[in-house]
Structure 1
Amino acid sequence: MKKYFNYKAVFLVITVLFVGFFYLQGAGEKEQINNDQSYVLEVLEKDSLWIYEVYEGTSLLIRQEYIPAVKGRQGFKTKEDAQKIGKLVLDKLSENKMPAISIEDLNANAISYNKI
């Protein structure tokens, strides 16, 4: 009986460590912002650049890997830039507006990009 208890205790400790490890790994990679109950913004790092994803409930609605409205495939250089534009998209969706981003929106939010 004592041997059975030791196995359960070891299994429990390993499980807690395993879950804690994956929780800490995920905490540094993405940041969630809830603007509305139905929309969620996640900012992720991908290939040394930043992207954002907008979810409606649990369904992926928008995955933006490049800065919208600019020529070429230019990625967000900072997490803050991706977060600003993602938040702007969330605000537009919450107001039932088209979530399009313009050059004026980028300039108003001080987003850095190469003008081609």
Structure 2
Amino acid sequence: MGNLNRFKTYKKLNAFVGIDLNRYQSGQNKKGDSINRRGNTNARLVEFEMIRSMLRNKGRIKNHLVDYYYKLKKPPYYKHDLVALIACANHLNRTIINLVRTNQVYDYNKTSH
């Protein structure tokens, strides 16, 4: 992804990766939200694999993104796997941008769960 300081907000990073939402609305017609997929395919694949790797290692490493994923899978949310992965990737981008801006290292105990 290069220098992350070039992204002013996490929304711009989401657009670069291609996971920003694409909405279509015309009059009374409303199409369901879907991701844009116009961004960098390799970056999107890397982010999804990072999330999947975090899910595989959930017993060894505590992570708030894994907690968020399983929160989305429980009632009353019942999100599908890909929808939950995209939401976690959005959360990951927010976390990355915040850590880069504040020049900090990730600490599970400092995060809000």
TM over 0.5: no
Which structure dedicates a bigger proportion of its chain to helix?
2
Which structure dedicates a bigger proportion of its chain to strand?
1
Larger relative contact order (CA 8 Å, sep ≥ 6): 2
TM-score, length-normalised on structure 1? 0.30
TM-score, length-normalised on structure 2? 0.30
Tell me which structure has the larger Cα radius of gyration: 1
